[in-house]
Structure 1
């Protein structure tokens, strides 16, 4: 057969062509890797540099590799998964076809196959070479690769014949094609059989698909939590088993926008007085709304309570925790708006410890407290919000939002205690509790990320709204709960990846709380917090992460006017937080994270015993 192939220039053409081809082409939604199965490799949608990443499918061979494939006329090119939807579309539309063999940089006129390639490129248009303008004719091949290239040229010749241009096809070439078709009949039949099976599976998937515009993903967390220590003369609470389930519908109407609809259910308890919560069992929770430094990362800010109306929520009731629409309006400007949103929907987390299902097990370590102020990360999409993302450059962007907690309530309800109504966070888009929150994110080098936060808040009652410490409720100590407050909060977060698998990360934050100027109270106080930690990627095994964290939870460092440094009866002492966790990745969709954090001088009170909270968290994603 080899002798026959070399008998004519066109026979040599086919040999050259097949040396550069791969047996499988990229498909829009799935790739067949054997006779029975399809592989889908979706990319998660995310708001990254003002773009929404598109769902893609990677080309996967039987050995698990992802080869680079030359372009065949009429077939799509495999795109790099790191490209945005916009750049992929542009590349596909604008990539130039090779129309002359001289455009292939690694093929010279002195090469023995130059004339053969010239016939394929200029006479039949069978190949376009690799996207970088090379041909790479010296690599080895398989019979299936040869059959794939042969099939491409058969289709091109049939196209020429069907369009009444048969005079362009030489008789010798047709004879060569016929001989090759006979010699490779088994491979061609297998190749076409796979395409037929793939088309049938694709048709079945299309007929039964959920939506052409919407992708569903979900996360299920099941965790055992135990704790010891707490307030003096307080018995240790029992070990509890909790869950949180989230289903997210990510919808794109144009390929660049994103509508996020999130449903959630959990069985954490608390309510208005903290009943049934682990923190109340330790004696470390506030008398109202369950604020505490003993919080885990995956429990909501106000468990078991609709804080807008002070109504109870039953365990595992379904809630709409996310409703947000993100859409670009210019190359560097993206807008977003929604009635259930959080700061983390727009602000990138600089620290690697953020990840409620897979990273830090405590609420303290995941984010800078400034991002959490005013319910910015409530876990329930507490606020209606609108804002923008301005990508100044690949290394620098600026993001801001305005959030209103009770935007859907037209009027405040009557007071239940002096100054505290049954809608304690106020009413209306601009009349109740609100926050203006910003973040400037920049990357001075490829290994350093920096985030600077500022937030200005107004609260109808005397709270911080972070849920991080007991003093979150009654932020101005010694001042009535019904006193409105104004907050100005500043913070910075830095992560330095000084090796591919180890990162040093930390934050610092300060919150300046003042009694609102509309009242008769003169009081102010300052809270500070800081954290530093080491994060490890692929520790002992690929996919396994770990973290060691130490820092100071929010603590009053100053008080003026009628405000006190600590409530009456508290032995004031600086609190500290020490945490360690290790995430085992069992599969791509299942992980288990054992960890513990220790609180020294919990809630800034030396009377409280050193407290340890242990967590065994299982996370399932799909």
Structure 2
């Protein structure tokens, strides 16, 4: 068969036969191996999970302890499990279906959370607060869409359903999903943004502008549509429109965020990412959001759950939230932010962000307030051992810096002070699939109140990926 249609003289034919005889054993072994491989391929084709879908997952276990001068939280063991099904139908598109389970606590009052244990009452309202961990859901035990109990105690929930597909226009990609987050669309820029491998606090992982209106709820709260436009290798523009009420056709008594994809609480945001050189990444963010009540939806500090301090309307004489007034005070928020990373050397990066928020009342008394936050950090790659990383982080959590109209700068009973956050972590790679991260962060003047004691949160996080 090798010489059909080919002229071969007797000398070449004799040589060929001699070679076959000399390597007869090797050829037989090779043939057996080929037959074995064909059998294995056939078995995999018959038993594979899917021809279009790949499964990946992440499991996080974390010991968490927190203390202040007067309050202590019991040491807890928190977990989060995520399974993602990544499906491509054409090779150019991607459907992400994500399932998760977790055991974090935290109801509407903050009870059951570390924040609620250290700073009960006003400072833990809606389970907001500066003690949140990187992988901790924004609303652990309740759904803000209708105030119902949400998944918890390791119940399985759908946290992501997002489809990314080409537009047909060069370098323009579109996406749409009923369970999505801003971080799905916008590059993080910050090198320790990974929830399972990076910084241990929620404060340090993303620019807060991305978190407006539940944009990073970690439970798939928002429905969103948007685009990704790769203008050039150095310039990238992305934008999205999102709603946390898209599945609600008519607003009921408990639908405090509104109803409909274009009604109630919504957000429109964009990020321009610039890479002027191989050493620099810069992200510029803007977001406009409307909220059916007096919130910002960041999941970072108490200001997110009651940004406009209007005496007698949103805050009582003791400085505690007035729920009825919060529900009757819709606001819109203009958010500006910038994030940058400078790779000083191949293994050391300087990173940071800054953000400014303008909050204005839409109904009721004329009131407005401004807020700032910033973070700076150092990231170390391959520290002490290849694959290990570490971070040092310092910054100012969300802080009210101005109030006008009917809004006051400080609530009754609050000793207004600038808050600060100091954090360190070390991520040790046990193997390609297992890492252990010890870390801690200290909160000075937590929740912008000098009456609150300095708090320490310690974490020992173990992450499995597959």
Aligned equivalents of 2:250 and 2:277: distance in 1? Answer: 50
Matched, 1:331 2:170: yes
Aligned equivalents of 1:192 and 1:520: distance in 2? Answer: 83
- Give, in angstroms, the shift of residue 170 of structure 1: 4.5
Partner residue in 2 for 1:481: 326
Segments of 5+ residues of structure 1 without an aligned counterpart are 1-156, 415-421
Partner residue in 2 for 1:464: 296
Partner residue in 2 for 1:245: 81
Matched, 1:393 2:232: yes
CA contact (8 A) 1:286 1:473 kept: no
CA contact (8 A) 2:65 2:76 kept: yes
Deviations 1:584-616, CA, capped at 9 Å, x for gaps: 111111111000001111111111111110000
- Give, in angstroms, the shift of residue 198 of structure 1: 1.9
Deviations 1:418-439, CA, capped at 9 Å, x for gaps: xxxx111110111110000100
Please show how residues 343-354 of structure 1 align to structure 2 within 5 Å.
Answer: 343-354=182-193
Please show how residues 71-470 of structure 1 align to structure 2 within 5 Å.
Answer: 158=2, 161=4, 165-167=5-7, 169-229=8-68, 234-283=70-119, 286-313=123-150, 314-329=152-167, 330-414=169-253, 422-470=254-302
Partner residue in 2 for 1:537: 381
Q: Which has the higher contact order (CA 8 A, sep 6+)?
A: 2
Partner residue in 2 for 1:500: 346
Aligned equivalents of 2:197 and 2:231: distance in 1? Answer: 31
- Give, in angstroms, the shift of residue 192 of structure 1: 3.0
Structure with more of its chain in strand, by fraction: 2
- Give, in angstroms, the shift of residue 287 of structure 1: 4.7
CA RMSD, aligned part only?
1.4
- Give, in angstroms, the shift of residue 196 of structure 1: 2.2
- Give, in angstroms, the shift of residue 442 of structure 1: 1.3
Aligned equivalents of 2:264 and 2:274: distance in 1? Answer: 33
- Give, in angstroms, the shift of residue 293 of structure 1: 0.5
Partner residue in 1 for 2:432: 588
- Give, in angstroms, the shift of residue 450 of structure 1: 0.7
- Give, in angstroms, the shift of residue 447 of structure 1: 1.4
CA contact (8 A) 2:123 2:447 kept: no
- Give, in angstroms, the shift of residue 316 of structure 1: 1.2
Segments of 5+ residues of structure 2 without an aligned counterpart are 315-324
Aligned equivalents of 1:496 and 1:254: distance in 2? Answer: 37
Matched, 1:614 2:458: yes
Partner residue in 1 for 2:317: none
- Give, in angstroms, the shift of residue 331 of structure 1: 2.3
CA contact (8 A) 2:78 2:103 kept: yes
- Give, in angstroms, the shift of residue 565 of structure 1: 1.4
Aligned equivalents of 2:149 and 2:210: distance in 1? Answer: 26
Question: Which of 392, 410, 418 is 1:566 aligned to?
Answer: 410
CA contact (8 A) 2:125 2:302 kept: no
Aligned equivalents of 2:297 and 2:259: distance in 1? Answer: 17
Larger radius of gyration: 1
- Give, in angstroms, the shift of residue 199 of structure 1: 1.7
Aligned equivalents of 1:190 and 1:447: distance in 2? Answer: 52
- Give, in angstroms, the shift of residue 387 of structure 1: 0.3
